[in-house]
Amino acid sequence: MKVTSLTRRAAMGVVAAAALAVPASADVDMSGKTIEWTIPFSETGGSAKWANFFAPLLSEALPGNPTVVVKFMPGAGSTKGANWFQEQEGGDGTVMFGSSGSTQFPYLLGDPRVRYEYNDWEPVMASGTGGVAYLNAEAGAKFDGSANNLKDMTFIYGNQGATRLDLIPALAWEMLGMNVEHVLGIKGRGDGRKMFESGEATIDYQTSSGYLKGSAQLVEAGKAVPMMTWGSLNADGDIVRDPTFPDIPTFKEVCDATDGCETSGAQWNAWKAFFVAGFPSQKIAFLPKGTDPKIVETFSNAFAAIAARPDFAEISAKRLGKYPMYTGAGAAAALQVAITVDDDAKSYVTGWLKDEFGVELK
């Protein structure tokens, strides 16, 4: 696994600077072609909503207006689809892949099912997201901004897998002293929301797009109560309120208000390191290794044109939330942030996964 020598703050600075640059256009015509954009999750989750949002916009922005079709390949916590994409080479622009934090975390942690290498792929767009954890109505009635009144309850959670992005809520709930039982192996966060809706689960979390599309309606109906977001990073690398959900406290705020929860030390540093890897540049669109540089440039240009649309900020805020989007060199820099965590954080999390879930990683 290649490790960048950039510090995280420096890397984010590179991302911010590179996001402003739009590469020169490439002479590529994709008339009459069909692009298959593979998402390694089920069709009900946040990654599906992300890709389905961008697909028609990408069709409009690419030269020749090709058809963009979103396909789903769930399995093994998204490693099935990523392993398949690793075998695709020399693309002509008709094969794309969409990665998420739940694909990045197994790579970071050395999950033995990982047979893919991010540094082989061609990133053409990266976008950040957030996440919201919420409770059922019974627990929500006891929630006062801290987890103190929730510690005598037992919660059920639909979990994609111990080494997936779900380790962010799992570790957060443990830090808060909550008793959460994990039902492992669901195919996507949308399936977790279905468990919550049916009463099989009593606590849930969704990335921003999934929350906006489905969970917010549960809150409006009085069936769910938002507990916290994971927050957002400011220019100094501090966790602040998520701009999409400014009225919901962050995990840091809830932790500070909860007896026994600490926002310093090894546990907090590990949680924050994986949060930074998993959310500020969580969803990334790739072309396969060996793709013609002109095609890579064309896709980067197309996504840059999408971001430059006068209506983009408004329509993306409604569907995905208010988060940055990176293309070209910015997407490449965002990728390096997403696939890098320090050794101390990795060591803590691998030890915690063994103790909490019985998962042993090299």
Select from 142, 127, 147 the least CA-distant residue to 47: 127
pLDDT band at 75 (very low <50, low <70, confident <90, very high): confident
Q: What 8-state DSSP symbol labels residue 249? A: P
With a CB cutoff of 8 Å and minimum separation 6, the contacts of 126 are 281, 283, 284, 285, 325, 326, 327, 330, 331, 334, 335, 338
Q: At what angle do helices 266-278 and 167-175 cross, to 10 degrees?
A: 150
CATH superfamily of 8-129+278-343: Bordetella uptake gene, domain 1 (3.40.190.150)
Q: 0.75 exceeded by the pTM?
A: yes
Pair of tokens at residue 188: 């996507």
Tokens of 108: 């970071």
Residue 282 pLDDT: 86
Q: What percent of the chain has pLDDT over 70?
A: 93
Domain boundaries for CATH 3.40.190.150 within the chain: 8-129+278-343
In angstroms, rounded to a whole number, what is the distance separating the alpha carbons of residues 180 and 151? 10
What average pLDDT does this structure show over 314-326?
Answer: 94
Tokens of 101: 């934090």
> According to the model, what pLDDT value does residue 352 have?
97
Distance CA 273, CA 321 (A): 22
Q: Name the token pair of 204.
A: 């849930």
Distances (CA, A) of 291 to 22, 178, 230, 269, 283: 19, 47, 36, 38, 20
Residues of the chain with CATH 3.40.190.10: 131-276
Of 14-23, 184-193, 225-234, which range is least confident? 14-23
Q: What is the pLDDT of residues 31-58, one digit of tens each?
A: 999 999 999 988 988 899 999 999 999 9
pLDDT tens sequence across 330-351: 999 999 999 999 999 999 999 9
Q: Which tens digit of pLDDT belongs to each residue from 204-262?
A: 999 999 999 899 999 999 999 999 999 999 888 899 999 999 999 999 999 999 999 99
Architecture of the domain delimited by 131-276? 3-Layer(aba) Sandwich (3.40)
